[in-house]
């Protein structure tokens, strides 16, 4: 294979240039791309005004997901706007109530924070549930959905490749069949 003969630095340069090139293509809106371009990201608003001392950690969660997937984009809700996602703080264990794909409530529970679990990872993990991901416990720190099972020393707030793909598939499926998503029952996931 030719690829194997590339030097590390050349391979790295090529990898780094790929996102740049695709970004430029997207910005240019090249008509040739229209047929193959993905559906526009589904915009989901979130209201973190009830997240108390976790506010800054909670705001990182949507940023991480926005960096990680194309199918959904999380934005702060405008004042007075009904948000798709509410993020609250309470004294229980962190959990998420998903009413339908991309809609629900997240609690950043102080019980886990007091045990030493990372607040940004908690925020990102619980948002993962709202984006349709189940828990994958026990699991390694490289998995976001392994949650608390990866231990308090795990501070990774990023989904792994499989988790990103699953979210992309969820939103691609929702775009193709919105009624199936609307019919789904509320699901509460603890942790």
| Residue placing its CB nearer to Zn ion in the complex, 109 or 147 | 147
Contact 146, 137 (CB under 8 A): yes
Interacting positions 61-80 with Zn ion (CB under 5 A): none
- With respect to Zn ion, which residue has the nearer C-beta, 147 or 157? 147
- C-alpha distance from residue 113 to each of 86, 152, 157 (Å): 19, 9, 14
Evaluate whether 61 touches 131 at the Cβ level (below 8 Å): no
Cα–chain center distance at 33: 26
Q: Does 47 bind Zn ion (CB under 5 A)?
A: no
Contact between 191 and Zn ion (CB under 5 A)?
Answer: yes
Is 163 a known active-site residue? no
Measured from the CB of residue 71, what is the shortest distance to Zn ion in angstroms?
20
* Annotated active-site residue in 53, 111, 115, 126: 126
Interface with Zn ion, residue 135, by CB under 5 A: yes
Give which of 149, 82, 86, 161 is closest to 121, Cα–Cα: 149
Is 135 or 163 the residue whose CB approaches Zn ion more closely?
Answer: 135
Q: What is the DSSP letter of 97?
A: E
How far apart are CB 137 and Zn ion at their closest, in Å?
8
CA-to-CA separations, 107 to 54, 66, 130, 179, in angstroms, rounded: 10, 20, 12, 27
| Residue range at the interface with Zn ion (CB under 5 A); choices 16-24, 41-49, 146-154, 158-166 | 146-154
147 touches Zn ion by CB under 5 A: yes
Residue matched to tokens 């790295």: 12
Nearer to Zn ion, 47 or 135 (CB): 135
What are the residue numbers of the active site?
A: 126
Would you tell me which residues interact with Zn ion (CB under 5 A)? Answer: 135, 147, 191
């Amino acid at each position: 294979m030719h690829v194997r003969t590339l030097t590390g630095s050349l391979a790295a340069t090529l990898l780094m240039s790929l996102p740049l090139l695709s970004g430029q293509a997207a910005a240019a809106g090249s008509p040739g791309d229209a047929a193959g371009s993905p559906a526009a990201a589904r915009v989901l608003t979130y209201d973190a005004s009830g997240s108390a001392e976790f506010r800054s950690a909670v705001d990182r969660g949507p940023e991480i997901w926005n960096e990680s997937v194309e199918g959904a984009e999380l934005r702060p809700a405008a004042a007075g706007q009904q948000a798709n996602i509410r993020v609250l703080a309470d004294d229980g264990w962190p959990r998420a109530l998903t009413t339908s794909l991309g809609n629900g409530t997240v609690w950043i529970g102080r019980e886990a924070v007091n045990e030493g679990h990372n607040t940004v990872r908690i925020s990102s993990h619980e948002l993962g549930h709202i984006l349709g991901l189940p828990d994958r416990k026990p699991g390694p720190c490289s998995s976001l959905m392994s949650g608390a099972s990866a231990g308090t020393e795990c501070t990774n707030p990023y989904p792994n490749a499989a988790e990103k793909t699953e979210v992309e598939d969820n939103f691609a499926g929702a775009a193709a069949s919105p009624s199936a998503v609307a019919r789904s029952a509320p699901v509460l996931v603890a942790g």
